[in-house]
A and B are shown apart, each in its own frame.
Chain A
Amino acid sequence: MLRVGIDVGGTNTDAVVMEGRRLLAACKRATSEDIGSGVVAAITEVLRQASVAPSALAAVMIGTTQFTNALVERRRLNRIGVIRVGLPAGASLPPMTAWPEALEQAIGAHTTMVSGGYHFDGRSYRDLDEAAVIAHVRDCQRLGIGAFSVSCVFAPVRDEAERRCAEIILGLMPQAQVTLSSQIGRLGLIERENASLLNAALGEHAQRVVGAFSQALVEMGIAAPLYLSQNDGTLMGAARAQRFPVFTFASGPTNSMRGAAYLTGCRDALVVDIGGTTTDVGALVNGFPRESSLSADIGGVRTNFRMPDVVSIALGGGSRVCLSTDPPQIGPHSVGHDLAKAALVFGGDTLTASDVAVAAGRFALGDPGRVAQLDPARVAQAMQQMQASVETAVDRMKTAAGEANVILVGGGSVLMPVHLAGAVQVLRPEHAGVANAIGAAIAQVGAEVDRTLALAGQDRATVLAGLRAEACAASVAAGADADSTEVVDIEEIPLTYLPGDHVRIRVRAVGELRL
């Protein structure tokens, strides 16, 4: 099965062609401002190298950090209208409580809390105040806001009020984008609402980015379906990705770790992924990213997604460096995709981490003459500092004392030496620079069974076992390899408002793509 795996980062767009588990070709291009032309350039080049015709492809899989970066950098976020149904409950903590102020300002939400909501058992404690919803939507319309987040107390138990709000919004503004909290998260209003707000604020950017991906494929005559990597390592179709950009959040680290496992054959290791702007350190356990069991913070906002356990530091090949301070200042800002223009070695006028590494003789890039005048003592100090910050991050990710295998991947992996404190050995495999794109191309396949049923008179264990088997079978039917398929999530919500001990059970199974 021939397919292209692509990683669209803030700095570079990488592409690989794979057939089965075999890597045929790989290349790296700068991410373009319009996203699409960089994708076209990378795919064109990698298909040429592999001598593969666009029509021969069975799938194109894209992993992207565009949406995570947009949040972290607080750019390209659209204004949102926020409706929380729940009053008189919940007024003590309005939407966006405890958000970083800068992010709240960047989004510029227009918020209201209205009467309505459900008890735990689905009984309504107040009717939805439709007049207040209508008034708020009209306000948003006047302000030019076209994206909405709707949340309601106990929406995972009963989503009628949220769906009614969506009807009202779309009735008044047929073009509006609406995110309902019940489509995104589980019980826990703060976390579910936060994810819904983030999703709504990324709506326009998602339209643009996913649209650019699809357009790129059309331009190249590729008819194969387009998939995007989700935060749990599985794929989703382009249409869904456009509506739910929030599900792509942790796909970067997941892909790089799985790519690292593929490239080294190493099942247990710490993976250091050095990109253009940030370095992510994660842990591979038995070939899979170790999951964080804490609430996942995204850009300082608490959500309840399942995410790989990752430590991120602001260090990358494009990090701006100032040598005149003591100690030298490295990051947090990066020149991003302007690296090939802005860096000194490329004739630009910005000193970056890559320039410092070239000056230190770590690797060759551009015109080394342009960094020859840098003070060698300062350069050495900056290199030492970068290494120490990665070593500290590696140390934080260790579960046990002692030394671990460390795999270096990512375009910026050349910044590091092959010896790091706390590492038994440091592996920097061939094609380390495109580990993310490989991870996207060997993505996993998942399926979910979501069933509301009456448990009365049935043995719960038998019911669960049946649903587990069903989810695994659905995952295999969707293309997963049966041996590697396992249940990764079970969520059970009792629906006490229905007679007969009703529960809603969601079971999710995931396996390796069958090749």
Chain B
Amino acid sequence: MTEPATLTIDQVDLPQLDALAIGAAFLGTGGGGDPYLGGLLAASAIKRHGPVAVQPLHTLEDQAFAVPVAMMGTPSVMIEKFPGEDELDAAAAAIERRHGRGASHLMAAEMGGVNAMVPLIVAARRGLPVVDADGMGRAFPELQMVTFNVYGVPASPLALTNETGEQVLIEAEDSRQTEMLARSVIVALGGACAISCYAMSGAQARAASVPGTLSLAHAIGAAILDGRRQGDPFGALFQCLAHSPYYQHYADLIEARVADVDRRIQGGWTQGACRLEGYGADRGRTLELVFRNEFLIAREGGVTRVVVPDLLTVLDAQTAEPITTDGLKYGQRVRVVAASAAACMRTPAALAVFGPARFGFDEPFVALERRPDHVTRGVQA
């Protein structure tokens, strides 16, 4: 048996993009933007400028200068107003000017959806490598919700740019305040912007990042694609998760139809809830999902089954194609899969920044594998 999750990649070229986009959509847990769009944008940049080298986190030199770039705002806006290479590059350039030094590496803040891809766009354009790491191994709706912030790197200074060339530089006291300021600017700038922040040295990056997540996203996507060819995408996905360093505890929650979607563009996010009604073996069961860009919590009959920072993803029941929160449609047949977050995402310090309370859920974090109702169907972990 191969262990796909241990496969690392050392460059991203066109053949890697399909798997990377699907894997990033899985880790995007419903948010992070339309992975198809991210794939198209990265493909167009790589076609123009060539492939992007991927450097393992542990080989990053102390004096390296890693610059994260991302899209921030409402995913539902990005499917109409596509992120552009110019504004992404301009955001990175503004941060480089502010720090007085040029980037040696680009980096993802979140390895989910479009945001797994946008660093590749700038890296391809500049001919620079990307770091095989991010700040969460998933996606989150707020800026301060990253391990960078938890482990000592501030979000500020932060640059925002949009398609009309408008640019805002934010200097704030802490990362939470940076988020609040950036969020209000984003609403004024149209709901989604290119950003750059958390620029850091190689030494800082090694101490404050989740390593190997670009390769992991690729491995997960490759497993789903491979599984589809073999006729069992979920089996392949579970096999891959079971052998991964972070996501080895997973739950195959329900197979269901989307019975209701209540979704709003609000405060710079796509927010709402979705009700799933089980069919087949799951007939009679109902699962409620609450989301803010990302799926945050799954409840069944009022009882929490999975909560952030553990991962919660909705996939097409046939193909295991991840479905984003803005792609949810009434009547879709889906399967919901949850997975454990990396250990550094579950520490008290980390939970203080992105635990359930930070999303307004009045309950402590309980790891999904420690819940009394935890069942792993499908492949055994």
- Residues on A facing B (Cβ under 8 Å): 86, 88-93, 97-98, 117, 119-121, 125-126, 153-154, 187-190, 291-295, 302, 309, 395-396, 399, 460, 464, 487-492, 494, 496
Assembly CA distance A491 to B332 (angstroms): 13
A126 pairs with B331, CB closer than 8 A: no
CB-CB under 8 A for A93 and B82, given A120-B74, A302-B36 = yes
A460: B residues at CB distance < 8 A: 262
B191: A residues at CB distance < 8 A: 119-121
B265: A residues at CB distance < 8 A: 120-121, 494, 496
A492: B residues at CB distance < 8 A: 261-263
Question: What count of chain B residues pass the 8 Å CB interface test?
Answer: 43
B164 pairs with A188, CB closer than 8 A: no
Chain-A contact segment, one of B173-181, B287-295, B317-325, B356-364: B317-325
A121: B residues at CB distance < 8 A: 191, 265
B373 at the interface (CB under 8 A from A): no
A88 pairs with B190, CB closer than 8 A: no
B71 at the interface (CB under 8 A from A): no
CB-CB under 8 A for A399 and B262, given A86-B81, A93-B41 = no
Assembly CA distance A464 to B263 (angstroms): 13
10 additional contacts (CB under 8 A) given A120-B265, A293-B316, A302-B36: A90-B82, A92-B82, A92-B85, A93-B40, A98-B43, A120-B76, A126-B164, A153-B80, A488-B331, A494-B263
Shortest beta-carbon distance, B339 to chain A, in Å? 21
Q: Which residue of B lies closest to A292 (CB)?
A: B318
Assembly CA distance A90 to B190 (angstroms): 14
A91: B residues at CB distance < 8 A: 84
Q: Which residue of B lies closest to A126 (CB)?
A: B164
Q: Which of B312-339 contact A (CB under 8 A)?
A: 316-319, 321, 323, 326, 329-334
B263: A residues at CB distance < 8 A: 492, 494
- Residues on B facing A (Cβ under 8 Å): 34, 36-37, 40-41, 43-44, 74, 76-77, 79-85, 163-165, 190-191, 231, 260-266, 316-319, 321, 323, 326, 329-334
B82 pairs with A294, CB closer than 8 A: no
Shortest beta-carbon distance, B91 to chain A, in Å? 14
A90: B residues at CB distance < 8 A: 81-82, 84, 163
Q: Which residue of A lies closest to B257 (CB)?
A: A293
B331 pairs with A396, CB closer than 8 A: no
B323: A residues at CB distance < 8 A: 293
Assembly CA distance A154 to B76 (angstroms): 10
Assembly CA distance A121 to B190 (angstroms): 8
29 A-B pairs within 8 Å (CB atoms) are namely A90-B81, A90-B163, A92-B82, A92-B83, A92-B84, A93-B37, A93-B40, A93-B41, A93-B82, A97-B40, A97-B44, A119-B77, A120-B76, A120-B77, A125-B190, A187-B326, A188-B79, A189-B81, A291-B331, A292-B318, A293-B316, A294-B321, A309-B318, A399-B318, A464-B260, A487-B330, A490-B330, A492-B261, A496-B265
B165 pairs with A88, CB closer than 8 A: yes
Assembly CA distance A489 to B257 (angstroms): 12
B36 pairs with A293, CB closer than 8 A: no
A490: B residues at CB distance < 8 A: 260-261, 330
The contact of B80 among A187, A295, A491, by CB within 8 Å, is A187
Assembly CA distance A88 to B87 (angstroms): 11
Q: Which residue of A lies closest to B88 (CB)?
A: A92
B334 pairs with A293, CB closer than 8 A: yes
Assembly CA distance A488 to B264 (angstroms): 21
A88: B residues at CB distance < 8 A: 84, 163-165
Shortest beta-carbon distance, A399 to chain B, in Å? 7
B319: A residues at CB distance < 8 A: 294
B262 pairs with A189, CB closer than 8 A: no
B40 pairs with A489, CB closer than 8 A: no
Q: Which residue of A lies closest to B164 (CB)?
A: A88
B330 pairs with A494, CB closer than 8 A: no
A487: B residues at CB distance < 8 A: 330
The contact of B44 among A93, A292, A293, by CB within 8 Å, is A93
Q: Which residue of B lies closest to A464 (CB)?
A: B260
Assembly CA distance A93 to B48 (angstroms): 13
B82: A residues at CB distance < 8 A: 89-90, 92-93, 189
A98 pairs with B40, CB closer than 8 A: yes
A92: B residues at CB distance < 8 A: 41, 44, 82-85
Output the residue of B191, B260, B261, B318 with the most chain A CB within 10 A: B318
A98: B residues at CB distance < 8 A: 40, 43
Assembly CA distance A293 to B83 (angstroms): 25
Closest 4 CB pairs of A and B: A89-B163, A89-B81, A490-B330, A293-B332
A119 pairs with B44, CB closer than 8 A: no
Assembly CA distance A153 to B191 (angstroms): 13
Shortest beta-carbon distance, A451 to chain B, in Å? 16
A489 pairs with B331, CB closer than 8 A: yes
